[in-house]
Structure 1
Amino acid sequence: MPQRDGGSWNALITAYSQTGNPEDAFGLFIKMNRLGFLPNEITFASVLGSCAAVLALWLSRQIHAVIFKYGFNGNVILGSSLVDIYGKCGVMRDARGIFDEIQNPNDISWNIIVRRYLEMGEGKEAIIMFFQMFVAAVRPLNFTFSSALVACSSITALEEGTQIHGAAIKMGFENDEVVLSSLIDMYAKCGELENACAIFDQPKSKNLISGTSIVSGYAMSGQTWKAREFFNEMPERNVITWNAMLAGYTHYFQWEEALNFIFLMVNTTKNIDQVTLGLILKVCAGLSDVEMGKQVHGFIYRHGFCSNIFVGNGLLDMYGKCGNLKSAKTVWFHQISQCRDRISWNALLSSYARHGRSELAMTIFCEMQLEETPDEYTFAILLAACANIFALEQGKQIHGFMIRNGYTMDSVVRGALVDMYSKCRSIEYAIMVFKERASRDVILWNSMILGCCHNYKGREVLKCFGLMEDEGIKPDHVTFRGVLHACTYEGFVEWGRQYFDSMTNEYGIIPRLEHYECMIELYSQWGYMDELEDFVKNMPFDPTVPMLTRILDACRRHGCLRLGQWAAQRLNE
């Protein structure tokens, strides 16, 4: 080309940009300037487009400076492009600063800022920006509605999601498939499954994505039987649908159902991804089936998933929970040595802490700090390790370290602190942590209840249970385990029976094996042999060997011949 004008330079720069060569595009841009051709909006937009494609942050900052130099700051197209790049690169403070400089941000500008906040995990900010659109009198795009609804899903913001639903109807998006799918997902994840199903029943809503949202909503709310019914009726499924159903089983520790579902999945579809494998490894860990875990490990090796960190962390966690620390170390040193992350370190720490190697867990924590920054979950593991070996001073040091370094004391950490102080017989510190001015969820209440149990303060347990109900916190199976233990300590047999019955009648909690064991211990210890016989013979399953042994001991102690003979006969079968 013998002579180039500004349009020719723009065409060349655009060509380089579209092939993903931001450095070459920027080099042409510099050469263009040196030859006296002034860049325009199209020039800058082309170079920024290539930077966004490869996330070239350092180059974007240089172009940003040149844009400012040529007086294009505040330009809606270039400003939106810069917001997009900075957001994709994770520097939302800069992205927001540039957005605020845009003189009249349009619908695309708003869509970008909402989307980038969402992708950075800042759902609350995404929702705030969405509502500010209306203040600025800018009509949202359907994708902006979708992003805002996904943000509501991510932080369970039902009230805001309902308001966005109303706005979508007012603005004519009630039949938009993108918006409808996001609405179904939002209501499902917020637990409003009736609303989710009502929208799904609309003709334009019945698609694979929406159906998967319904399955996930039922499964993750504990209604796995409804999720399975819906799953079975779906005309088509993909790997995400299968994973959603399996995730529900694993979340609620329904290991046998999960195992049967895995066999069905393997025989029905070949669509298995890293998420599926991670869930299958959770099932192996839940069943303590290390042999099955090894078979899955072989599948992972044969199908090229070894380098996937998500799968590697799943293997590490599975071997750790199954007590196979040798295989866990093999995964650690050979499979994920080049890509391990904080989750990997936490899984290794948890493995050693869980199996009585708490001192070694403390040593590993020191090594971790050379490679990764610990998070709140790391400290919860360490506090559990301290509790296991009654290391009160080390637990206090960890507590102090977290305070000095500004870590968030969420309910999990506070629960771990309460548990550690309680097990180390420092109940005063446990109560102090529990009473800190912060919200208390069921995890923290359970930690306090179990802490009182460890210190044989049964009456305080029952007081805590009453206060917990007063605060509107719904108890779970862990809560009732503590309450039944407290009744055993104090000899409150009738109260124990009432609490056990209330699990099903008032709270919809199906008693587990541990709750039946608590009731057998309660009746046995306090000599209520008629009640014990009636209870055992009406259980929905056959008594276990430990149960029969405890019953036999109680019969010897309290002289109950008939029940003792029955228990002895069952033990000999």
Structure 2
Amino acid sequence: MPLHDMVSWNVMIVGHVKSGKAQKALELFQQMQQEGVKPGPVTFAGILNACASVGALEEGRHVHKEIIENGCESDGFVGNSLIDMYVKCGSMEDAWRVFNRMPLRDVVSWTSMLLGHVKSGQGQKALELHQQMQLEGVQPDSVTFVGVLNACASLMALEKGRLAHEQIIQSGCESDIFVGSSLVDMYVKCGSMEEAWRVFKKMPSRDVVSWNVMIMGHVKCGQGHKALELFQQMQLEGSNIFVGNSLLDMYVKCGSMEDAWRVFEKMPSRDVVSWNVMILGHVKCGQGQKALELSRQMQLEGVQPDPVTFVGVLNANMLKKKQVTFVH
């Protein structure tokens, strides 16, 4: 292109941010200015997202100065991007300064601040923000409710969680899969498995997170068999293999190879992670021969070993040699 205008630069910057190439986006932003092209609100929002994704706080502060110089700080889109950047970079003080100066604060502004306090371990402050936003006439959305429920879970505030649940029903957000998973998580962490079950059963679709929360909730309550039943049901509904691997890992680390084998045998598909967990589990238990048998079986089933598998096999061989030496 003989000439690059602001629109073409914006497309390139935002494209690199969306592709996970934040550093390249920052370089393009510098190059754009060197070529004398003035950035606009879309440019600033894109570059703030780049700073947020890599935790570049000082770079973000420098961009903030440029935003003020260009008279773009009052733009709602830019203001929300500034708050998001400061929150994700861990500077709630800077986020508050931007938030307090905003002429208009929408649900995105409030939700970003609320989530920032949840992330910082300030659940009570997050709940206060939830009340304040409603007093100012801003209605929470599904993302806000996820933050509120996470705050209730962190504080083990069951009654406040129940009140939030009532609001969620009234707003029509209960069918949202992320809200549903957060409700299940809140009830489990607050020790109310009965209410967690009620939400879980009503969910129109259940993702790997909701299944995982229910399974781990029963494990935490000492109901291992119920956890296994849930795992079987989850597999029948075709959920992600990640949950099975997590459950395998948990049983192996707890030293219960018997339960690990029950899960392993019921898994409809097993990847290299599943096999590695079992191989290393048997090595940990001093069963080198069994670990070697598993490594051979995984290859027969067409699963290619990775570096973790080789570490397990080497340890199994060393263990086997020690056992032979001891016998002799």
Is TM (by shorter chain) over 0.5? yes
* Residues 206 and 90 of structure 1, relative CA distance in 2, 3 Å threshold: closer
1:346 aligns to what? none
Task: Tell me which of the two structures has the higher relative contact order, counting C-alpha pairs closer than 8 angstroms and 6 or more residues apart.
Answer: 2
Quick check: 1:304 aligned with 2:302?
no
CA distance in 2 between counterparts of 1:241 and 1:2 reads 53
Provide the residue aligned with 1:128 in structure 2: 128
Matching residue of 1:377: none
User: What code does the residue aligned with 1:149 have?
Assistant: L
Match of 2:66, SS state, is: helix
| Residue of structure 2 in register with 1:103 after alignment | 103
Normalising to structure 1: TM-score of the pair?
0.44
Equivalent-residue separation in structure 2 for 1:70 and 1:134 (angstroms): 33
Partner of 2:6: 9
Give runs of aligned pairs for residues 503-542 of structure 1, distance below 5 A.
none
Partners of 1:200 and 1:210 within 8 A in 2: yes
Q: Hey, what's the Cα distance between the residues in 1 that align with 2:283 and 2:187?
A: 32
Shift of 1:202: 1.8
Q: Deviations over 1:125-184 (max 9, x none)?
A: 443333332233211221221232233334433222212111111222233333222212
**Paired residue type of 2:60:** S
Q: Across the two proteins, how many residue pairs are aligned to each other?
A: 290
Cα distance, 1:65 vs structure 2:
1.0
State whether structure 2 residue 22 is matched by structure 1 residue 24: no
Cα distance between partner residues in 1 of 2:171 and 2:50: 35
Secondary structure of 1:105's match?
coil
Are 1:174 and 2:174 matched, yes or no? yes
Counterpart residue identity of residue 258, structure 2: N
- Unaligned 5+ segments in structure 1 are 316-573
Q: In structure 2, the residue corresponding to 1:204 is in which secondary structure?
A: coil
Across the aligned residues of Structure 1 and Structure 2, the Cα RMSD in angstroms comes to 3.7
Structure 1 equivalent of residue 190 of structure 2: 190
- 1:138 counterpart residue number: 138
User: Which of 256, 260, 263 is 1:262 aligned to?
Assistant: 260
Q: 2:243 aligns with which of 230, 241, 244?
A: 241
- Residues 1:23 and 1:241: Cα distance change in structure 2 (over 3 Å): closer
For residues 261-340 of structure 1, what are the structure 2 equivalents within 5 Å?
Answer: 261-267=259-265, 268=267, 269-271=269-271, 273=273, 277=277, 289-290=285-286, 303-305=306-308
Cα separation, 1, equivalents of 2:252 and 2:160: 30
- Aligned-pair CA distance for 1:81: 1.0
State yes or no: 1:112 paired with 2:112: yes
Whether the 8 Å contact between 1:114 and 1:130 is mirrored in structure 2 is yes
Cα distance, 1:153–1:284 mapped onto 2, change above 3 Å: farther
Extract unaligned runs of 5+ from structure 2: 296-304, 316-328
Q: Tell me the distance in 1 between the aligned counterparts of 2:51 and 2:210.
A: 34
Higher CA-based Rg? 1
Q: How far apart, CA to CA, are the structure 2 residues paired with 1:122 and 1:243? A: 32
- For 1:29-87, what per-residue CA distance to the aligned partner results, in whole angstroms no more than 9, with x for missing partners? 4235xx4x654323322332333344433322211111122333343211211222222
SS in 1 for 2:307: coil
Q: Is the 8 A contact 1:219 1:247 kept in 2?
A: no
Structure 1 residues 290 and 127 mapped into 2: Cα distance closer, same or farther (>3 Å)? farther
* Distance change in 2, residues 1:229/1:50 (3 Å): closer
| Match of residue 62 from structure 2 | 62
The equivalent residue for 1:214 is 214
Question: What SS does the corresponding residue of 1:146 show, helix, strand or coil?
Answer: helix
Listed as ranges, the matches of 1:332-481 within 5 Å are none
- In 1, Cα distance between equivalents of 2:48 and 2:257: 50
TM-score (norm 2): 0.72
Does the CA contact (< 8 Å) of 1:74 and 1:102 recur in 2? yes
Report the CA distance shift for 1:30/1:156 in structure 2 as closer, same or farther (over 3 A): same
1:153 partner amino acid: A
Tell me the percent identity. 28
- Counterpart CA distance in 1 for 2:245 and 2:130 is 31
Counterpart CA distance in 2 for 1:94 and 1:219 is 41
Tell me if the contact between 2:117 and 2:123 (Cα under 8 Å) persists in the aligned partners: yes
Q: 1:345 maps to what in 2? A: none
Query: Residues 193 and 217 of structure 1 are in contact (CA less than 8 Å); yes or no, is this contact kept in structure 2?
Result: yes
On the 8 A contact 2:127/2:148 being kept in 1, the answer is yes
Distance across 2 between alignment mates of 1:121 and 1:240 = 27
The change in CA–CA distance for 1:284 and 1:184 in structure 2 (over 3 A counts) is farther
- Inter-partner Cα distance in structure 1 for 2:176 and 2:58: 39
What's 1:529 paired with?
none
Q: What's 2:204 paired with?
A: 204
Structure 1 232/241 Cα, relative in aligned 2: closer, same or farther at 3 Å? Answer: same
What whole-Å deviation, never above 9, does each CA across 1:403-443 have from its counterpart, x for those lacking one? xxxxxxxxxxxxxxxxxxxxxxxxxxxxxxxxxxxxxxxxx
